[in-house]
Structure 1
């Protein structure tokens, strides 16, 4: 919450940023395939602010407010019609905001140019124009060096067809971006050509690392450098230690791709059909707390695949909360050791929340994917892996105030090759602990899941029942705290300055002038509220209106945090 200056000290104005004030966001797929080349504009989508473009170079000029593949973020200074992908902000008009077109269809190619078109905007008031509604066309021009740019208005205001041109690296094909990143790469470093972030793995150089296959055979390798023991031939980057077979020659050419950079060691010893062994070592930003050791994912007669979770590959980790930390928090659902596995119709879905999948031997879905669909053979081997998308955006609230998490940019959609596969997870407040997501349907290149979990409930108001029971009236959870009183009536805790506070949760009203928390004869308030915060797995007891403190009164808060292994435990002072 931000306080703005008071008007004559009588009127107080406040701005409160909250997900509850957000309208439903309308999105469309942001990828397209053209002549075998893949394009992805999703890096231009904004989730907390909009692009603003002035039509003229003066301060009173009308402004175009827009987003990419998603409706405009409604906020102060952008109160546009709710479905608008672009709108006009004209302070000279009585109706300041007017739609310049709604988000309806994904990017497309026309006359050789990558474009987005927002249609069905406000009514066109030019009687000479046959089209009844205003529309907006954004033409994207591939400029490999152009990062963090904004579009430029070209023409069309008088013709009800606003036209903009956007020079940006995001408009280049994934293939050309990868080629460009190779040309501009350094020694064991590479720059994301869209965001300008540099992955630097030089700190991993000049050290030996080992992975082990299912037969116990060790593969020794180095990052961006050759092994020095000469067990395999000279310049070998990875060596089969049992048979002294070179699985690829070393190089320092780190290659960029979505999900994280990788090394490709080629020209190893001969294998089948006159081919040479090669090894791909992929680096990705995994879940917090997961193993940071390399893992042998897959091996074929001529190919070896290694995945490595390392913070060095972390360009960004999305926030796993809805808009801010005071809203609903899905962090407890993030997996760091094993993925969630959902089985449906003879298929397995491997899923993580807000993070890439935990590396699993044999699972070689595009590294960095957060969800993967696989078939399982009779020998329990994974086949036909399909990426269901990458974790690019934080969860949002839909119109029903349910949490929705969306993964985008997965494998090519089979029934519509110009689109990529995505997946949607809707979290529904329910009175179970966590459960598992349930696969619901597949529609329009999107896999849809639903997850009933108490974590989606966020904070719920509860009540107090004497002598010492708290109850969540929404989910009907009930907790008996009487053991806190029966085993030890008064608990003590010391602060950093040596002050000692006494706590009596169940009998405070008789002990300290109606207060559960007491110090030096001062009571720190009577019970005001009970809050069950399921997304953080804690319960708060808030006390207010205690003894007089200067011109106010003492307050206190006791927060109970679940820990099955600690018994009754003991209180600690936070402040």
Structure 2
């Protein structure tokens, strides 16, 4: 008996030979379930290998496989000759030189490594050293016909012939392949097959029903083992209450078919005229353990249901980023192999070695020497061909997080059938948290053909996780301590609505109000259908997880969905400009748990912001405030899985996946290595121009690798009026400097010179330069508008003629009594800050000109009275000026507050919707200024200030008593060391610098004793800007902690220049006062009557 050595993986196995006789019997080798079949090669009478020498004569070697030579030249002697050597002259004369170069024997075939070796020994005597001729043929497996070679002479020395032969016949073929069973079915729209026996239990699944009261033992695609019914082929055993167990179904008649909505139905035919049994399987990628549950029954069928990943179609892109119930994120992508695979070598007790291929987050890849079966396979037992490899499971489930065990389980189900079709191969990979990477290790193979691997890896560890108390938690990477206590409201709970329910929430302590009849326990109270539900007990424990703060409220009201308790989770999101005093927003309700998002500055570490506007000497302004995001970042990805994160004029916003150094304006996150970040530049200064290019520089980053200098980033901001969504582009990296380019409409310059021409639209509409369409057609109406101002009464319409018969002529748009003040039209004009209609061609005035009217439409303050106002009658030029405040003229209003890390300056209390602020020039009291804050001036009857202006100057000598506009409110306020500044631009033409427009700047200075204060004129600068100073308590630091801790319960004591805090007078029970046989309950700085809003 010869021995054949077979490499399965990298192992040598003994094989048994079927002797190939001279009559050409099958030439096959079999060991266990592997077969090598050379029969296709033995069917040929002989093969030839030819060599040409220098004389022009050929040497030909005649070969046969598994039988003696047939149809060869005379002289190739013997009935068992398998190789013969002859010379062939140029005239085709054949001379046999070695009649027998090797004999066919019963032990000629063996396997060495990956080679099937065929040895023919016992040939003729060799003149060299008394040896005999022998021939060795090495058959090499190849998968493709193009690589097949036929026999190739490798050497002929010392009477030994060595032949190499690449052929598909040398590839092994498995004999244990089971392609179909009663429990196999094709996936819809997929070439993969589903083998349901992967769910067969070692014993059985248990299920129970209430109506009727019964217990069931059931197995999938196999019999119940060691069950209550004493029969070997029982598939379902029914045990009614008070009765003996009975066989409901057997394994004799099984059927598998696809149902509706991608469900799979396994049917067992009834036993003894009973009811059929069906098990309905529903795809659930996240199910780690399959359970069978009783569903229902009717006169003919008992139905069970099971949620399982085994019936889910395989996916090429399975989930690889996971989140557990407390918000920890696990990223398995670093374990994915795009080339090669993870390899595990197993040594068996009989000395063989088996090679396993594994991959994570994708299918296994073809190997260089060994391979797997084709398809979306997560693991395989590799072979030297796909026909000799084993499919150990498909990519058809999601990883499962085992929080208590610090591990993650990945299941690959539905491999090919094993053990004669009784079970199906599957793979279980346990990723176990470890500080070091160790790779996978096979720990066991179960009786149900499941291969279990353990894998110690840091990928299974939650990154940057820390749990704090007292509503504080420390960032374990950078050391910042987050404190959420300022968000605690001691007077009133936060009210939130979502999905039809109402929620009351508080932080860092229990609810102020009671919930479900209990005080001092709940942190979240849910009101659903009028019923109060404890949605989680109060807690002061805060979890920091990779840049995100999370508070989890657990152990709420029980009895939710069987025996579960209610819970809630708040995820805090960093926003540099949001205090959080408005409370959280409801995100979703998932079963018994509610999730809330809460944007707040308290979820941010310290950050740095610089001014994002630039004014040049030639009257150009750049304003990139809209690119400076307080809640998100700009991102750029590279092919090697690196992510660049940038912000404009401010630090990168800290969040998951964007954990950069606190002052970094740009950083790199390496997503292939645990999201480690590199600071490539800190925010230090604002915008600047270099050779006409708008730039911003972030410097003093981390130490540049291999250099003494630090990283820095240069960003060029290019004007592109069509670019709505700016995306950074990496241009180059040179000498530790990264060069980026951002195209945006926000980077386009705005000229402050006096060169603005109006835009004109038709049909009562006009489009602004930003693309916004103003449409005033809704103001046109059948009944005319009437204006009364002192002794003047006027009638007008918008974009159409009057309907008043007392106004003479056709097409009149406005008249005063019976005087035509202008013909109507619908040509709407746009200028920054206002819209206007020009009605011209009215009655003659002074005998030389016609009367006209200019109606300007202005976006005023939020509560301004809308409608037309006659503000000026220019009797010299016969023009009526009408101002009309309307929301239809609003494209956007600027925000009126400034946020820094420590405080907010909110200037909105200074906005006036009636009248205006007034001040004079101390050096020339006849120069009078009219001002508003963040909004246009309100109408000033008798003064024709340019509509939409926020500041106007009236002084003697101005033509037509027209005051000068000192600018419009287009730019948000910014902070400075003393308070805040706001600038108004696009004013009137500057008389001393004709190429410039007038502008104004108000410096708000914190003064706690000033109250609201008032503006004071200071000076006019060389570039035509009027400077004002405004001392006010509004500009003082308003700490968020004070804002969010309830009502500001203070009174002002001017003599002491201090605020007196009355909060110490607050009593939870209030104060009881007797008056005329009645008892009144009052309180200070808080509610008095059952937590109402009454004080």
Matches within 5 A, 1:188-199: 188-194=764-770, 196=772, 198-199=774-775
**Equivalent residue number for residue 266 of structure 1:** 840
- CA apart distance, 1:328: 4.5
In 1, are the aligned partners of 2:966 and 2:985 still within 8 Å (CA)? no
In 2, are the aligned partners of 1:259 and 1:368 still within 8 Å (CA)? yes
The alignment partner of 1:361 has SS state of coil
In 2, are the aligned partners of 1:177 and 1:193 still within 8 Å (CA)? no
**Equivalent residue number for residue 642 of structure 2:** 60
Correspondence 1:333 to 2:910: yes
- CA apart distance, 1:213: 5.2
Any stretches of 5+ residues in structure 1 without a counterpart? Answer: 462-468, 493-499, 506-539, 543-555, 559-570
- CA apart distance, 1:305: 1.8
Matches within 5 A, 1:523-542: 541=1085
The alignment partner of 1:359 has SS state of coil
**Equivalent residue number for residue 475 of structure 2:** none
The alignment partner of 2:799 has SS state of coil
- CA apart distance, 1:418: 6.0
Deviation string for 1:449-493 (max 9, x for gaps)?
A: 3322333446598xxxxxxx9887983345999xx9xxx95289x
**Equivalent residue number for residue 815 of structure 2:** 239
**Equivalent residue number for residue 1015 of structure 2:** 437
Give the distance between the partners of 2:829 and 2:625, measured in 1 at CA: 19
The alignment partner of 2:896 has SS state of coil
**Equivalent residue number for residue 359 of structure 1:** 939
Give the distance between the partners of 1:47 and 1:415, measured in 2 at CA: 36
Give the distance between the partners of 2:988 and 2:934, measured in 1 at CA: 18
**Which structure carries more strand by proportion?**
2
Matches within 5 A, 1:447-466: 447-457=1026-1036
- CA apart distance, 1:425: 2.9
Matches within 5 A, 1:348-497: 348-376=928-956, 382-393=961-972, 395-400=973-978, 402-411=979-988, 415=993, 417=995, 421-443=999-1021, 445-457=1024-1036, 475-477=1057-1059, 490=1073
In 2, are the aligned partners of 1:226 and 1:250 still within 8 Å (CA)? yes
- CA apart distance, 1:383: 4.0
Deviation string for 1:64-100 (max 9, x for gaps)?
A: 433xxxx336532596897x9xx53322486424159
Deviation string for 1:223-267 (max 9, x for gaps)?
A: 11011335232112122325x23x322122323332232222233
Cα separation, partners in 2 of 1:105 and 1:63, compared to 1, 3 Å: same
Correspondence 1:137 to 2:716: yes
Q: Which of 252, 262, 274 in structure 1 is aligned with 2:826?
A: 252
The alignment partner of 1:490 has SS state of strand
Cα separation, partners in 2 of 1:279 and 1:176, compared to 1, 3 Å: same
Correspondence 1:297 to 2:817: no
**Equivalent residue number for residue 784 of structure 2:** 208
Deviation string for 1:16-41 (max 9, x for gaps)?
A: 6566956453243468979xxx8875
Cα separation, partners in 2 of 1:386 and 1:503, compared to 1, 3 Å: same
Cα separation, partners in 2 of 1:322 and 1:43, compared to 1, 3 Å: closer
Cα separation, partners in 2 of 1:371 and 1:177, compared to 1, 3 Å: closer
Give the distance between the partners of 1:458 and 1:204, measured in 2 at CA: 47
**Equivalent residue number for residue 284 of structure 1:** 858
**Equivalent residue number for residue 550 of structure 1:** none
In 2, are the aligned partners of 1:201 and 1:312 still within 8 Å (CA)? no
Cα separation, partners in 2 of 1:212 and 1:450, compared to 1, 3 Å: same
Structure 1 segments of 4 or more deviating over 6 A? 31-34, 78-82, 123-127, 172-179, 469-474
Give the alignment's TM-score, normalised by structure 1: 0.64
Cα separation, partners in 2 of 1:213 and 1:64, compared to 1, 3 Å: same
The alignment partner of 1:12 has SS state of strand
Matches within 5 A, 1:140-219: 140-142=719-721, 146=722, 148-150=724-726, 153=729, 155-158=731-734, 162=739, 164=741, 166=743, 168=745, 171=748, 182=760, 187-194=763-770, 196=772, 198-212=774-788, 216-219=791-794
Q: Which of 85, 89, 97 in structure 1 is aligned with 2:667?
A: 89
In 2, are the aligned partners of 1:321 and 1:328 still within 8 Å (CA)? yes
- Equivalent residue pairs, number: 464
**Equivalent residue number for residue 527 of structure 1:** none
Correspondence 1:310 to 2:906: no
Give the distance between the partners of 1:227 and 1:171, measured in 2 at CA: 43
Matches within 5 A, 1:88-127: 88-92=666-670, 95-98=678-681, 102-105=685-688, 115-118=693-696
**Equivalent residue number for residue 573 of structure 1:** 1093
**Equivalent residue number for residue 12 of structure 1:** 543
In 1, are the aligned partners of 2:628 and 2:647 still within 8 Å (CA)? no
- CA apart distance, 1:405: 3.6
Give the distance between the partners of 2:787 and 2:625, measured in 1 at CA: 34
**Equivalent residue number for residue 226 of structure 1:** 801
- CA apart distance, 1:360: 0.7
Cα separation, partners in 2 of 1:55 and 1:99, compared to 1, 3 Å: farther
Cα separation, partners in 2 of 1:275 and 1:137, compared to 1, 3 Å: farther
- CA apart distance, 1:208: 1.1
Deviation string for 1:162-187 (max 9, x for gaps)?
A: 463636498498999987x645x5x3
Cα separation, partners in 2 of 1:196 and 1:117, compared to 1, 3 Å: same
Give the distance between the partners of 2:913 and 2:679, measured in 1 at CA: 49
**Equivalent residue number for residue 521 of structure 1:** none
Give the distance between the partners of 2:932 and 2:907, measured in 1 at CA: 11
Give the distance between the partners of 2:1019 and 2:977, measured in 1 at CA: 20
In 2, are the aligned partners of 1:49 and 1:73 still within 8 Å (CA)? no
Give the distance between the partners of 1:47 and 1:557, measured in 2 at CA: 43
